[in-house]
Amino acid sequence: MNALGRHILVEFYDCSPELMNDVIHIENSMVAAAETAGATVINSTFHHFSPYGVSGVVVIQESHLAIHTWPEYGYAAVDLFTCGDSVDPWVSYKFLKDAFEAGHGSSMELRRGQLSLLKRNEFNLDALRDVAPKSIEADGTITRDVWFTERDENIALSLKHSGKQLYKKESPYQRVEVYETLAYGNMLTLDGMVMCTQKDEYVYHEMITHVPMFSHTKAKRALVIGGGDGGTVRELLRHEQLEEVTLVEIDELVIEACKQHLPETAIAFDNPRLNLLVEDGIRYINNCDDGRYDLIIVDSADPVGPGEGLFTAEFYSQVHRCLTPDGVMVTQSESPRFNSGVFVEIYDTYKQIFGQDKVHCYLAAIPTYPTGTWSFSYSSKGEAHPLRFDQEAAGRFSQEQGLKYYNEAIHTAAFALPNFVKELLANKSDNTIQEYSAEPTDE
């Protein structure tokens, strides 16, 4: 070869749109394409592009393979650059064409560094010589830099993972996936949205359960709608006062994925006090007897996909009907910073159903949820109040159970709202700010 390197500019057309948005498939394919061609892979970096698509590069000892995809067009632009003549980039081209299920491709090869135009420098090159590739680990593995990204048009959360997708199945309702992340352990996602991770799931599950349990000590029967990861029922079943806990989850694949890959979260599925039902939570509530449950927790995903019907006035009215006269409903109520429109609408709906003074907002810090600030609602059908609770009992319980987030001080502090949240929760009818008191009232 009369040049220093071969550079192939590639365009793949009519590719599988799903594959063009699958960061793990693309990363694995690009690495395999390099190795199949005989290249020595040093490391790889891949991430989701906004709003969709994948960008990435595989660094090889002989140069690099790079890509950017446009799923909406089924198109990929690929850059294959190899130095010397030990690696044939056309082997990589053929491999990727098949891997991306491309209808057809076009390419242009450039010879880089024409030897006839170069003059060799007399500098002592031995002083620059690397003894060995420094990025290859001692066991021969390569450094991989692969990112999962949850995003909308304005913000994104990116988590680096190992490149291993532990679980991926499509149910009639959603895409269920589990990734092995480096900072947060195994992570469950539904339709590309983070649901929980091994390292921080305890925040959500402890706050959605222990706040109502310690302020409604007469609760004997609890219902959880959603929550197929098992974390909410795990925390509820720590309370011996509960005689029965019913979990209604629409998607059995969520349960399956968490049993396999988040076993600490799904540990309570075999508890004899748990009644596990795989069915539609909306239908279950509609058919539920009046006054059946002391506590109903709506552990839903965001108001899209199968969870969309759980964010309606009709549904919450049915929940109200199913509560005992002194019953309590607790829900996750979105981020007041990220999804403020839905946040405000949810609370306005609750107040119409339960009463203006019966609905309370509290907050928790969850790192892997949008903005890190997440809200929960506490709606009382009777006289139960979230700040009327036995602090000594709550503190003792937290210590005995080894809780990682909830304690008696957190219980109280969670209801101290920032001013911007108070303003969002202002009464919409008279446009005045409804101040939230940290002290319970006797009504």
- Sequence-separated (6 or more) residues with CB below 8 Å from residue 87: 37, 38, 39, 60, 62
Quick one: which of 359, 296, 286 has its CA closest to 327?
296
Tokens at residue 14, please? 């009519």
All residues at 6 or more sequence positions from 418 whose CB lies less than 8 Å from its CB, including other chains: none
Contacts of 217 (CB under 8 A, 6+ apart): 241, 389, 390
Catalytic residue selected from 83, 196, 258, 288: 83
| Distance of alpha carbon 437 from alpha carbon 144, whole angstroms | 51
What are the φ/ψ torsions at residue 258 (nearest 5 degrees)?
A: -75, -35
Catalytic residue among 258, 299, 360, 377: 299
Active site residue 288: no
CA diameter of the chain: 93
The backbone torsions φ and ψ at residue 216, rounded to the nearest 5 degrees and listed phi first, read: -135, 70
Instruction: Name the token pair of 240.
Output: 């011996």
| Active site annotation includes 161 | no
Question: Which residues carry a binding-site annotation for spermidine?
Answer: 205, 229, 299-302
Active-site residue (options: 55, 68, 79, 348): 68
DSSP percent split of the chain into helix, strand, coil, nearest 5: 30, 35, 35
- Altogether, the residues listed in the chain come to a count of 443
- What is each CA distance from 246 to 158, 288, 301, in whole angstroms? 34, 12, 18
- Residue 111 sits at φ, ψ, to 5 deg, of -95, 120
Check 29, 44, 63, 379 and give the catalytic one. Answer: 63
Binding residues: 174, 205, 229, 249, 280-281, 299-302, 306
Is 320 one of the annotated active-site residues of the chain?
no
Say if residues 165 and 178 touch (Cβ distance below 8 Å).
yes
DSSP secondary structure letter of residue 436: P
Cis peptide before 306, with omega less than 30 degrees from 0? no
* ∠ Cα 333 338 342 (to 5°): 45
Annotated binding site for S-methyl-5'-thioadenosine: 174, 249, 280-281, 306
Residues known to be catalytic: 63, 68, 83, 299
